[in-house]
Amino acid sequence: MPLVRKPGRYLGTEVNRACRPWEDAMIRFCLLFPDLYEIGMSHLGLHILYSIINSTSWALADRAYCPDTDMEQRLREKNIPLWGLETGRSLKEFDVLAITLPYELCYSNILTMLDLGEIPFLSEERVKGEWPIILGGGSCSVQPEPVADFFDAVLVGDGEEKIIEIGRFIKEAKGQKLPKDEILYQLSQIQGVYVPSLYKPIYSNGLFKGIEPKRADVPQIVERAIVPDLEKAPFPSRPLLPTVNIVHDRLGLEIARGCTRGCRFCQAGITYRPVRERPLSTVLEMAEKGLDSTGWEELSLLSLSTGDYSCITTLIEALTTKYLPQKTAVSLPSLRVGTLTPRIMELIRGIRKTGFTLAPEAGSERLRKVINKGITEEDLLDTAEEVFSHGWNNIKLYFMIGLPTETLDDLAAIAELARKVLARAKRGQVTISIGTFVPKPHTPFQWEGQISEEESRECLRFLKRNLGSRAIKMKWHEPRQSFLEGVFSRGDRRLGNVLQRAWRKGARLDAWTDRLDTTLYMEAAKEEGLDIKAYLLERDLHGPLPWDHISMGVKKDFLQSERQRAWELAYTSDCRRNKCHKCGVCDFKQIRPVVQKKCLDRIKEHSSSLEEKSKTAQISTILLTYSKLGAARFLGHLDTLHTFHRAIRRARIPVAYSQGFHPMPKVSFGQPIPLGTESLAEQAAIMVTEPVDIQELADSLNQTIPEGLYIEEAAVAAGKKAIKEAAVTHYLILPWRGNNEKMAEALNIFQDSPEWMVEITRKGKTLSLNAKEMFCDVQLVNPEDIDQEIRNRWKPAREALEKSQFLLALSLKHKDTAQIKPTEFIKTLLSLSDEEMKLSRILKIGQERPLGEFL
């Protein structure tokens, strides 16, 4: 762990983790997210399945995320198979590996994870032997052909109900010791489950000609699974709280699923139909449970179009009123123009000014009609003016280039619209964010061509030249990524071999711009004799498509008629409150749009009185001394700080908050210790607004703070500055494979030398500092001579302590200039390599009092 970037990703010590006993479960899932921890932990779908499986008495769910390349390399060097974070079991030991398919550019990571799990890639290679069932699911499961060969089964559609049905069946099959082919056949009989090995693609003259079942008794068409009503769908009441900072580090609440606004490019707008809103009371309950159990300082209302939620104003009003005293921010993803009312702006501005994104998608009125965006320029400009007038000074506008029928005039209209938006601000900035249109399966534009990488770049250059103001900034999605996304979006099974070849050539973490190398895919395709650029071409309206055997419930002729209406610039209204357009999804018995008709009356609870209280209450400061041991040593300073902030909120400590748009709990910390260093003597000071019982405060924090962190002492701070910088700090060091003779010899040389220069790098500058001026009392000590209490408390290092005859004890004197870290010092003292330095255990044992008092 000390040798890899962000070791916190691999600890599995998150607050609210299930940690179910292995032996108690009859079926064990490992949920795999094929991207880095920061992305995977932000994915709501995985949290939902994790919570559902772990609430089932006979099942357990663990998790694994794709390791970064440095960790991958180390695992290979050390022959360590990839493991489930909580159980520590290698992937091979699970019954089911449920892999999320969130976007196309994560496909190479699936191979990385399988390979590190020592699992053969192809389903056909796993027919014999005891391999886990490899189950896919998630957004890309609606067109899984490019990765079909790697999966035993793919769950298409909503997973809440099906995951348990699948689990129950596999449990029984395991009990009956059914052969793999029988298991797969029976899985194919569950609605929503696609078993790729039971279907055969047909090609002729290098062209895809269709796909057909290999047996008469498997469905011709796989129908997607739909949860008819979200009210009954489970939602995690104790969500996992990440250990390290993640991309969406907040409580995500899914308030509705599906959107029927009818944007013709939007895949989710078809594949999640119909709209199903959660009742307001359920959302409020979810918010309360989620915040109470995590301490998150922000919650985000999630849905494909949050502003369209029937009770949105009442909901935001209720949430902001309730959570104002705790300074919990309510954030909304990009809102549709027309749904953003002045009242909503007022409410969210009251707590925290999160950014504002509007998505006109196209610059010209004509092109917005083609895509059925249904917003006029005037609507957009009025909304922008309203946003600026409410105090925001930066609006982000999202556009697409390469949309069907686009002309140069449409491109010029993007820049013009950005200028008009800017003109509505007295003082402000506009950022335009540009993505390339990628035609997606199951949409009215699924037959359209995609512009090439070079054409994307040409459009971007044109836009840059035409922005016309320095106050308009431009960002864009990398065209190379859109190219690859386009290939895999509408690709067929032949891409599986291309993917394998590209992966063997080194394709990794392709969704990260700095990692993607499309030449690997071009070379791989050439070797496979495939022209991958051809996947971007326009498709025959009546020809076979690689996803024809997977149904979203929406009829193909509805998609074709919507395509025709695009050319006619005809508007198709939202069916949730207007007439049904007969797309085919609803049966109006079980499946139908679910919209909330009753919103609660305005809720105005005690916010003003509480706010008043927090202003007038007497503020005092509590000084905490805490230890940071074991896995917690891999939490960086900022992650430790977030961990404390959230633990304080969970423990309901009446902490004071700073003023301004980003109110923060008033908690200060002592000098950060380096990542990897353990400590028995860290300090934090909490300002509280009410009298508190000190012991109760420490106890309640200890009940909620993650493993490895522990409040050792709490006291009311005397004086204004609660944390004073120590003049001297004491450390114990267990060098990696320390050689006692070598240590004694090195120490003698150090002690006899008049100076001991150590080169360190700070802010890019190399400095040479004299360690003799900073380190004193450097001595070898026998582990037995160390204070018994310290030895007991340094439990995580017990094994290493037992093995060693001597440790190094030393004191570091603090100076106002740059300081040598204890790790840097022992590296030169004992001539350690970088790796040996990082693997050494270092414990801060105390400060100020003489070192002898700790030994």
**Residue (581 or 791) nearer to ligand SF4, CB:** 581
Query: Binding marks (x or -) toward ligand SF4, 507..526, rule CB under 6 A?
Result: --------------------
**Residue (412 or 591) nearer to ligand SF4, CB:** 591
Among residues 250, 292, 246, 239, which one has the least CA distance to residue 649? 292
**Residue (200 or 582) nearer to ligand SF4, CB:** 582
**What's the min distance (Å) between Cβ of 619 and ligand SF4?**
55
Contacting ligand SF4 within 114-153 (CB under 6 A)? none
Tokens found for residue 90: 């290698």
**Residue (261 or 424) nearer to ligand SF4, CB:** 261
How far is Cα 253 from Cα 626, in angstroms, rounded to an integer?
33
**Residue (582 or 724) nearer to ligand SF4, CB:** 582
Q: Which of 137, 201, 274, 822 binds ligand SF4 (CB under 6 A)?
A: 274
**What's the min distance (Å) between Cβ of 224 and ligand SF4?**
13
Q: Which of 16, 108, 243, 260 binds ligand SF4 (CB under 6 A)?
A: 260
**What's the min distance (Å) between Cβ of 304 and ligand SF4?**
13
Pair type for strands 153-155 and 133-137: parallel
**What's the min distance (Å) between Cβ of 512 and ligand SF4?**
36
Residue 640, amino acid: T
**Is 846 within 8 Å of 786 (Cβ atoms)?**
no
**Is 698 within 8 Å of 627 (Cβ atoms)?**
no
- Please state the length of the chain: 855
**What's the min distance (Å) between Cβ of 585 and ligand SF4?**
4
Pair type for strands 841-847 and 678-688: parallel
**Residue (594 or 809) nearer to ligand SF4, CB:** 594
**Residue (315 or 586) nearer to ligand SF4, CB:** 586
**What's the min distance (Å) between Cβ of 274 and ligand SF4?**
4
How far is Cα 507 from Cα 525, in angstroms, rounded to an integer?
13
CA distances from 361 to 421, 546, 562 (A): 14, 28, 18
What Rg value do the Cα atoms of the chain yield, rounded?
30
Query: Binding marks (x or -) toward ligand SF4, 164..193, rule CB under 6 A?
Result: ------------------------------
For 329-350, letters b (16+ CB in 10 Å) and e give bbbbbbbbbebbbeebbebbbe
* Number of other CB atoms surrounding residue 301 within 10 Å: 23
**Residue (343 or 582) nearer to ligand SF4, CB:** 582
Q: Angle between the 377-389 and 408-423 helix axes, to the nearest 10 degrees? A: 30
Task: Find where tokens 């960790």 sit.
Answer: 71
**What's the min distance (Å) between Cβ of 261 and ligand SF4?**
11
Burial class (CB in 10 A: 0-12, 13-18, 19+), 172: middle
Tokens found for residue 505: 């050539």
What's the angle, vertex CA 229, arms to CA 227 and CA 231, rounded to 5? 120
Tokens found for residue 516: 């993607």
Burial class (CB in 10 A: 0-12, 13-18, 19+), 721: exposed
Contacting ligand SF4 within 328-357 (CB under 6 A)? none
Instruction: Give the distance, in angstroms, between the CA of residue 633 and the centroid of all CA atoms in the same chain.
Output: 22
**Residue (575 or 832) nearer to ligand SF4, CB:** 575
**What's the min distance (Å) between Cβ of 579 and ligand SF4?**
8
How far is Cα 455 from Cα 742, in angstroms, rounded to an integer?
64
**What's the min distance (Å) between Cβ of 580 and ligand SF4?**
3
For position 700 contacting ligand SF4 by CB under 6 A, the verdict is no
Contacting ligand SF4 within 279-338 (CB under 6 A)? none
How far is Cα 368 from Cα 362, in angstroms, rounded to an integer?
6
**Residue (137 or 228) nearer to ligand SF4, CB:** 228
Partner residues linked to 135 by β-bridges: 98, 153
For position 273 contacting ligand SF4 by CB under 6 A, the verdict is yes
Contacting ligand SF4 within 589-648 (CB under 6 A)? 593
DSSP structure string for 61-124? EEEEEPPPHHHHHHHHHHTPPPB-TTT--BGGGSSEEEEE---GGGHHHHHHHHHHTT--SSGG
**What's the min distance (Å) between Cβ of 587 and ligand SF4?**
9
**Is 26 within 8 Å of 93 (Cβ atoms)?**
no
**Residue (273 or 336) nearer to ligand SF4, CB:** 273
Among residues 525, 509, 595, which one has the least CA distance to residue 72? 509
**What's the min distance (Å) between Cβ of 158 and ligand SF4?**
15
3-state secondary structure 389-451: HCCCCEEEEEEEECCCCCCHHHHHHHHHHHHHHHHCCCCCEEEEEEEECCCCCCCCCCCCCCC
**Residue (555 or 791) nearer to ligand SF4, CB:** 555
Partner residues linked to 786 by β-bridges: none
Tokens found for residue 851: 């070192």
For position 804 contacting ligand SF4 by CB under 6 A, the verdict is no
**Residue (9 or 442) nearer to ligand SF4, CB:** 442
How far is Cα 177 from Cα 183, in angstroms, rounded to an integer?
9
**Residue (442 or 844) nearer to ligand SF4, CB:** 442
**Residue (520 or 594) nearer to ligand SF4, CB:** 594
**What's the min distance (Å) between Cβ of 254 and ligand SF4?**
18
**Residue (134 or 594) nearer to ligand SF4, CB:** 594
CA distances from 4 to 84, 290, 511, 613 (A): 18, 32, 21, 47
Contacting ligand SF4 within 541-600 (CB under 6 A)? 575, 580-583, 585-586, 593
Tokens found for residue 538: 């326009």
Partner residues linked to 688 by β-bridges: 620, 655
CA distances from 344 to 51, 297, 335, 548 (A): 32, 19, 11, 42
**What's the min distance (Å) between Cβ of 260 and ligand SF4?**
5
**Residue (11 or 256) nearer to ligand SF4, CB:** 256
- Per rule CB under 6 A, count of chain residues that contact ligand SF4: 11
**Residue (260 or 481) nearer to ligand SF4, CB:** 260
Give the binding site for ligand SF4 (CB under 6 A). Answer: 260, 273-274, 575, 580-583, 585-586, 593
